[in-house]
Structure 1
Amino acid sequence: MMTAGPIWALGAMSGTSLDGVDTACVLTDGVTIQQFGESGYRAYSDTEQAVLRAALGQWQDGDLAAASEVVHRAHLEAMSDYDGIALAGFHGQTLAHDPRGRGTHQLGSGDDLAEALGCDVVWDFRSADVALGGEGAPLAPFFHWACARWIGATEPLCFLNLGGVGNLTWVDPTKDRPEAAGALLAFDTGPANAPINDLMMQRRGLTFDRDGALARQGRVEDGALELFLDEPFFRRMPPKSLDRDDFSLMLDLVRELGDADAAATMTGMAATAVMVGMEHCPKPPARLLVTGGGRHNPVMMQMLKAGLDCPVEPVESVGLDGDMLEAQAFAYLAVRVARGLPTSAPGTTGVAAPVGGGQISRAKPRVAAVVQQQGGEV
């Protein structure tokens, strides 16, 4: 266990949208945020995206050599340019998530990164939670609690992450610990950007609907939306989580629609899933702060504003960085793991009791440092 006091930690996140690797530094003691530091982004090339797409849905026994090489190379490049880092948090690339079945699978080795980076690396954040009966997701809520305290919030509020999948965190910032009863409620709301991105790739050969330009030209098909909302997932009580491809039926529901109407309908599905999810909040939130790539989609944001009773704002409105919040989260969680603090709780993943996840891969001492300590020459 590490000594008390804040340290600089580096977090790395590659989401199910498969756009690239976000990296960000946080000065934290694992409870409070002291300061936000540098951040960066390393995009996946079209070839790398194709390799990762081909690996989606595969488990540890699959042929993953090419995908492993992409994940390792991209993360090493993204994480190598930071100085003064005491610890790194490495999420890995989620390929499959089935908490009530085979478990959860994030591709990537913390051992390899620790050796290459020369600092301890915390990784495999989700497996312990799943093993103890939790959903293993979402994991950012403990960080959202710290963010709510950092911005000085005094009333319940929500964080909505619109990545490949949407997930919602309701936070009561008056609670003194994120694992305290009633501090957090979190769950996946439904699909968000991932199926829209898949539609754009199939129909237009593009990776996403930039600025919602295609959706803006179409209209939502109500019949397809109603069929989407018939999915049993929406009747389950939270906490609950999704795999990236659990809602692959969305593409079937819009198959007969033109490109613009299909994009508008799928954007409407993602927004409506959030509206349905908001009904589970213990108390109405004072505001909804949106993070992730979906906040850059004006059509998605307008749908949310029109359908919800609270203000809907990007997290930048309170001084946070919506492009880096998840990477920052895994920096924060890495420090919690290293200090033996829980990273999930019944209200965030449905696990029976607060649990700390994550493995720690220790960096091997540099040969030069060992020789110098012994009084030799390098």
Structure 2
Amino acid sequence: MHGKVAMSKLMRAVGLMSGTSLDGIDVALIDTDGEDHVIRGPAMTFPYDDDMRRVLVNAIADARDLHVRDARPYSLADAERALTEAHGIAVAQFFQEAGIERSSVDVIGFHGQTVLHRPEIGLTVQLGLGDLLANFTRCPVVYDLRAADVDAGGEGAPLVPAYHRALTAKLPQRPVAIVNIGGVANLTWIGRDGSLLAFDTGPGNALINDWMLRKTGAYLDSGGVTAGQGQVDEDAIISLLSDGYFAETPPKSLDRNAFALDAVQHLSIEDGAATLTAFTARSIAKAREHMPSEPELWVVAGGGRRNKTIMGMLAEQVHHAVVPAEAIGLDGDSLEAEAWAYLAVRSTLGLPITFPGTTGVPEPMSGGLRADPTAHVIH
């Protein structure tokens, strides 16, 4: 908490994040005024089982041909309900295990599962039934937080920069870069004056995970061990980094499936993992080309911070320290879930959640839909 704030000005919010890596559901609680005052509470992760992962993998595949945001063909309708119910169960477990009274929670920020993100055609699709979750949890739910920004011509991502700025308000290092390595990697650059620049830098864990699943049946390269045993194919890296996305001026964002495995198909398991890991690290470092000045500190959150090979490769590419979120007192697992709680409060208060420097939207704007529980209780 920054300074002394009357508790009556703070709202209690729970954030739910289901990332593009398909690992599970992150749940976090914060108390905040939606500005710089944040009290971080408990956080937990509820991993998906193999059945739920298969449901989501199929949903992502079925969403590739979507042209209407609320269409739910093929497996998507069943996947959306199953996903929402899984989130409801996670919230109930979180409340029970953390000893939280649901009546003390003012709002839940529900990210849902991104199955398609194509802002260039004005389309972003996150599965998640806000009304169902509100009735399941008996709490107000703010959801679909990206859609209004995309409808206004923005990228719809990333949405966490406002929270990053609040959390780093007292850091001595400026500028600072906060990097989240989930399925896609995104970055927030925060200037000395608090100015924001944010964009998706390129792939995060998604390509590595897809490679491991295809080649070994494992869902990830735990700790970056497989990549650490391989050699980087520099020709493949040159090919991958030649994609026009990297030269585009931010703000900009990516779909999880924006890049393919074609460039590494001829490689061994280890060399393919090493090359894809280098692709993630170098594309993050390459993001400096778009920054007003070099970050004095790189703070890494998300599952990718546990990949020692990614962290090492990134450190080799940049000029200042690369540290996990925990090194500055944050929780790299819960950061995005916390951000969704923070954004839900800002949405409730009508405060902006996206900005010209973060998503390219014409002017700062709020967003999100609100669902309140009805009298009907779901058991």
User: Does the 8 A contact of 1:153 with 1:173 survive in 2?
Assistant: no
1:125 aligns with 2:145: yes
In structure 1, how many angstroms separate the alpha carbons of the residues matched to 2:50 and 2:32? 36
SS of the equivalent of 1:269 reads helix
Q: Which residue of 1 aligns with 2:269?
A: 259
Give how far 1:7 is off: 1.3
The residue matched to 1:349 in structure 2 has which SS?
A: coil
Residues 153-185 of structure 1 show CA distances to partners (whole Å, capped at 9, x for unaligned) of 46220100000000010013643xxxxxxx100
Write the letter of the residue equivalent to 2:187.
L
2:357 aligned counterpart, secondary structure: helix
Aligned residue among 331, 335, 339 for 1:321? 331
Q: Is it true that 1:68 corresponds to 2:88 in the alignment?
A: no
Separation of aligned partners in 2, 1:96 and 1:133 = 17
**Separation (CA, whole Å) in 1 of partners of 2:38 and 2:202:** 33
Alignment root-mean-square deviation, CA: 1.5
Distance 1:324 1:173, change over 3 A: farther
Q: 1:92 aligned to 112, 116, 135, which one?
A: 112
- Per the TM alignment, residue 152 of structure 1 is displaced from its structure 2 partner at its CA by 3.7
Contact 2:230 2:273 in 1 (8 A): yes
In the aligned structure 2, how far is the partner of 1:366 from the partner of 1:115?
7
Q: Which residue of 1 aligns with 2:16?
A: 12
Structure 2: where are the runs of 5+ without partners? 1-6, 96-100
Letter paired with 2:26: D
> Does 2:296 align with 1:286?
yes
Give the corresponding residue for 1:172.
191
Give the 5 Å matches for 1:73-222. 73-80=85-92, 81-82=94-95, 83=101, 84-149=104-169, 151-153=170-172, 155-172=174-191, 174-175=193-194, 183-222=195-234
1:118–1:366 contact (8 Å) kept in structure 2: no
Using the TM superposition, name which of 308-317 and 3-12 deviates more.
3-12
* Conserved? CA contact 1:40–1:78, under 8 Å: no
Aligned to 1:271: 281
1-side partners of 2:8 and 2:257: how far apart?
41
Cα 1:98–1:292 change in 2 (3 A) is: same
1:340 to 350, 353, 371: 350
Q: Does 1:297 align with 2:307?
A: yes
Deviations along 1:209-233, whole A, 9 cap, x unmatched?
0111111110100000000011010
Instruction: Please state how far the C-alpha of 1:66 moved relative to its aligned partner.
Output: 2.7
Give the aligned residue type for 2:41.
G
In structure 1, what is the Cα distance between the partners aligned to 2:213 and 2:81? 24
Instruction: For residues 47-67 of structure 1, give each alpha carbon's deviation from its aligned partner in whole angstroms, at most 9, with x where no partner exists.
Output: 110110011051424221331
| Inter-partner Cα distance in structure 2 for 1:365 and 1:4 | 27
Aligned-partner residue type, residue 344 of structure 2: A
Q: Percent identity at matched positions? A: 44
> How many Å separate the matches in 2 of 1:173 and 1:38?
30
- CA distance in 2 between counterparts of 1:325 and 1:112 reads 25
Name the amino acid aligned to 1:123. Y
CA distance, structure 2, for counterparts of residue 12 and residue 141 of structure 1: 17
Which 4+ residue blocks in structure 1 deviate beyond 4 angstroms?
none
> C-alpha distance in 1, partners of 2:173/2:210?
40
- Give the corresponding residue for 1:180: none
Residue 69 of structure 1 deviates from its aligned partner by 2.8
In 1, Cα distance between equivalents of 2:340 and 2:213:
29
Letter in 2 for 1:223: D
The 1:34–1:235 alpha-carbon spacing in structure 2 relative to 1, beyond 3 Å, is closer
Cα deviation per residue 1:43-98 (whole Å; 9 max; x = unaligned)? 11111101100110514242213311321121001112322211110011000001
How far, CA to CA, are the matches of 1:363 and 1:68 in structure 2? 18
Q: Which amino acid aligns with 2:73?
A: G
Q: TM-score, normalization: structure 2?
A: 0.91
